[in-house]
Amino acid sequence: MRSIYGVALSAVLVVTALTACDPATEPKAAPVAPTAASAPAAVTTQASTAPADDAVTKTACTKLIKAVNETAKQAAASEKIGPPAGYIAVSTQYIAGSTAMSAYSIGAAPDVAAAADKVKGAMDELDEAWNANPKKAPSKAKLDAAVKELKAACAG
């Protein structure tokens, strides 16, 4: 019983930590631009924007894929606990994963952000499915397809 509460508590802490992040302070890629700021301002506005955006997207992809993997790992561990308490913990893991998709996709390229949004939607649907019937594991096919699309967007 303690492990059930431990998993649920850790999931709540993850959600709390992710929602406590201030998106305004997240993209710290701006300090890279001042090192190239010795060039005239007209040149740096156009030239430094693309590499900074690319760096933000690469960082976002790394965080997004890591969050997907961590969510899958934690959900699988929670699922092993069994119904209904373990399945409630699975639902909580998908909520945390969904929150991570929103948080980490900020500032990423539009195709990566759209793919992350699809993963978020699939995780939200899994959360709802686990809550609707905590005695039956729902299909993860939609999530698997969305994750594949996210990986493709990050690779391209």
pLDDT at residue 79, as a whole number: 87
* Mean pLDDT across 12-40: 42
DSSP letter at 56 equals H
pLDDT tens readout for residues 114-156: 999 999 999 999 999 988 887 788 899 999 999 999 999 999 8
DSSP notation for 64-120: HHHHHHHHHHHHHHHHHH-TTHHHHHHHHHHHHHHHHHHHHTTTS-HHHHHHHHHHH
pLDDT tens profile 65-86 = 999 999 999 999 988 888 777 8
Domain boundaries, the chain: 2-21+55-155
pLDDT digits (tens, 9 = 90+) for 30-67: 444 333 333 333 333 333 334 445 899 999 999 999 99
